[in-house]
């Protein structure tokens, strides 16, 4: 089959789709990935045909948007910011995707941009969306996240209440998206988005561990837990030598904020260095925020971009923002987490890390001051490390990319 993939965003939005595309190629399918030029090299190095979509931004441009997202008031505001950024480029994006869809048998989009599946539906191409978080998966068993659960009332009422809340949430999200891009959709002959949470596409690939996170009584058969879609860049031998010389066989805390960016990174890191124990080693990944320290320090090792799997081999624990990709990598590494949420669903991932017993959360505003105490607490929690090891063993038996390929193949067979 001929598969057209698309996704926008940061590394965490792109790498899982590369993993899916690579698995599809291994299974004998033709794959094209429509995304921004920033990720062209990674896409093509995986053997996937690259299709350029606007905007032609560099990493600094995307980092600016990430800084804006840290100021979002809530989930709806996060969606408003994301969609507002796409409006100037949306006509061109639609034109490119419409041409690409003429030769496609199936279309796969990122969940955030599920409105693009409306375009696929109107040209008769079956569609799927990928989501890297399971907080948006609806069920009669629970309401949307952060809404009241009413556990003390009879089950039939809870189910009725939960269905009503999911329907209402779906309508509110569609209203927010349509008020930003609805006119652009109509100008291009595309109907406004009618469902975001309940029926965004023919299939929804929930790319987290089914063993850890799949719930019962999902809304419909559209929702399929595939397992993680993880993609790693090649190992860097020079960084390996640097880390070997720094760690000397010891596992140490690692701090990374991935694609998150801050307005005041230098001030934040100065606060961190004032409170970090001077004789304790730590590895800091610079990331999109450009994290650095003012003066060289023998106990602090700064590393640039490097694959999670290579870096986390040196970790006693990983201190991170709670991004979907980073969280998946830490779980696979079998070490505890300290999560400092910054935007969107990162607070949800922090709560899930605590729930499954492999980490704790530190507040965003005071983390430079609070981190040493949190690190000490994790070091003393032997049960947390044992639990992390068991989860890594469980995840080693799952194959998310292969499972996702089978789901897409079955979708096409259903439509033929």
Q: What is the pLDDT of residues 148-203, one digit of tens each?
A: 888 778 888 999 999 999 999 999 999 999 999 999 999 998 999 999 999 999 99
Cα separation, 306 vs 287, in Å, equals: 9
Q: What pLDDT, on the 0 to 100 scale, is given for residue 128?
A: 97
Paired strand residues for 32? 4, 49
Q: What pLDDT, on the 0 to 100 scale, is given for residue 264?
A: 87
The structure tokens listed for 76 are 């709806």
Q: Pick from 222, 170, 123: which is nearest to 178 by CA? A: 170
pLDDT score of 364 more than 90: yes
Q: Pick from 325, 342, 333, 344: which is nearest to 135 by CA? A: 344
Q: What pLDDT, on the 0 to 100 scale, is given for residue 298?
A: 93
> Phi and psi dihedrals of 248, rounded to 5?
50, 45
pLDDT score of 129 more than 80: yes
Q: What pLDDT, on the 0 to 100 scale, is given for residue 312?
A: 98
Cα separation, 98 vs 104, in Å, equals: 10
The structure tokens listed for 40 are 């062209």
Query: Could you tell me if 270 and 295 are in contact, meaning their C-beta atoms sit under 8 angstroms apart?
Result: no
Query: Could you tell me if 128 and 204 are in contact, meaning their C-beta atoms sit under 8 angstroms apart?
Result: yes
Q: What pLDDT, on the 0 to 100 scale, is given for residue 145?
A: 87
* pLDDT tens, residue by residue, 51-86: 999 999 999 999 999 899 989 988 899 999 999 999
Reduce the DSSP state of residue 381 to 3 states and report it. Answer: coil
* pLDDT tens, residue by residue, 311-362: 999 999 999 999 999 999 999 999 999 999 999 899 999 999 999 999 999 9
* pLDDT tens, residue by residue, 252-306: 999 999 999 888 899 999 999 999 999 999 999 999 989 999 888 999 999 999 9
* pLDDT tens, residue by residue, 230-262: 999 999 999 999 999 999 999 999 999 999 988
What percent of the chain stands above pLDDT 70?
Answer: 100
Cα separation, 90 vs 54, in Å, equals: 8
pLDDT score of 397 more than 90: yes
Q: Pick from 51, 221, 46, 26: which is nearest to 128 by CA? A: 221
Query: Could you tell me if 16 and 231 are in contact, meaning their C-beta atoms sit under 8 angstroms apart?
Result: yes
Cα separation, 398 vs 332, in Å, equals: 11
With a CB cutoff of 8 Å and minimum separation 6, the contacts of 258 are 10, 11, 12, 287, 288, 320, 321, 323, 325, 326
DSSP state of 312: G
> Which of residues 386 and 217 earns the better pLDDT score?
386
pLDDT score of 415 more than 80: no
Q: Pick from 34, 30, 32: which is nearest to 8 by CA? A: 34
Cα separation, 272 vs 252, in Å, equals: 17
User: What is the strand order of the sheet 30-35 is part of?
Assistant: 49-52, 30-35, 2-6, 106-110, 127-131, 203-206, 223-225
Reduce the DSSP state of residue 284 to 3 states and report it. Answer: strand
Q: What pLDDT, on the 0 to 100 scale, is given for residue 247?
A: 98
Reduce the DSSP state of residue 117 to 3 states and report it. Answer: helix
The structure tokens listed for 198 are 């309940």
Task: Provide the whole-model pTM.
Answer: 0.95
Comparing 141-145, 309-313, 359-363, 368-372, the range with the smallest average pLDDT is 141-145
Q: What pLDDT, on the 0 to 100 scale, is given for residue 294?
A: 87
Q: Pick from 332, 333, 297: which is nearest to 315 by CA? A: 333
The structure tokens listed for 406 are 């089978």
Q: What pLDDT, on the 0 to 100 scale, is given for residue 416?
A: 60
**Residue in this structure with the two tokens 């406004």, named with its chain if needed:** 192
Query: Could you tell me if 205 and 228 are in contact, meaning their C-beta atoms sit under 8 angstroms apart?
Result: no
CA atoms within 13 A on the CB side of 324: 26
Query: Could you tell me if 282 and 269 are in contact, meaning their C-beta atoms sit under 8 angstroms apart?
Result: no
């Amino acid at each position: 089959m001929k598969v057209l993939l698309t996704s926008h965003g940061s590394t965490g939005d792109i790498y899982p789709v590369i993993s899916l595309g690579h698995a599809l190629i291994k299974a004998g399918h033709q794959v094209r990935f429509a995304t921004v030029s920033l990720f062209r090299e990674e896409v093509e190095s995986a053997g996937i045909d690259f299709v350029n979509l606007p905007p032609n931004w560099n990493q600094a441009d995307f980092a600016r948007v990430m800084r804006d997202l840290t100021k979002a008031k809530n989930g709806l505001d996060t969606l408003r910011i994301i969609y507002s950024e796409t409006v100037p480029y949306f006509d061109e994006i639609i034109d490119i995707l419409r041409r690409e869809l003429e030769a496609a048998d199936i279309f796969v989009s990122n969940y955030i941009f599920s409105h693009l599946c409306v375009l696929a539906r109107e040209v008769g191409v079956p569609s799927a969306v990928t989501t890297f978080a399971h907080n948006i998966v609806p069920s009669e068993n629970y309401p949307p996240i952060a809404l009241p659960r009413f556990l003390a009332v009879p089950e039939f009422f809870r189910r009725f209440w939960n269905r009503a809340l999911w329907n209402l949430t779906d309508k509110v999200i569609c209203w927010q998206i349509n008020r930003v891009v609805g006119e652009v959709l109509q100008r291009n002959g595309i109907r406004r988005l009618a469902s975001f949470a309940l029926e965004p596409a023919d299939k929804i690939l929930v790319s987290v561990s089914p063993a850890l996170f799949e719930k019962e009584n999902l809304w419909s058969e559209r929702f399929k837990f595939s397992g993680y879609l993880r993609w790693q860049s090649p190992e860097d031998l020079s960084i390996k030598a640097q880390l070997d010389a720094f760690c000397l066989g010891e596992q140490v805390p690692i701090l990374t904020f991935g694609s998150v960016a801050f307005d005041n990174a230098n001030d934040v890191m100065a606060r961190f260095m004032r409170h970090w124990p001077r004789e304790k080693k730590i590895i800091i990944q610079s990331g999109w925020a450009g994290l650095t320290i003012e003066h060289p320090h023998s106990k602090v090792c700064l590393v640039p971009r490097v694959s999670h799997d290579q870096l986390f081999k040196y970790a006693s624990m990983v201190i991170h923002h709670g991004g979907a990709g980073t969280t998946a990598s830490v779980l696979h590494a079998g070490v505890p987490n300290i999560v400092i949420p910054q935007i969107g669903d990162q607070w949800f991932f922090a709560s899930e890390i605590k729930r499954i017993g492999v980490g704790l959360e530190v507040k965003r505003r005071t983390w430079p001051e609070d981190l040493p105490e949190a690190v000490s607490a994790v070091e003393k929690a032997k049960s947390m490390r044992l639990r992390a090891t068991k989860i890594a063993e469980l995840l080693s038996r799952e194959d998310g990319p292969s499972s996702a390929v089978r789901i897409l193949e079955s979708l096409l067979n259903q439509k033929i």
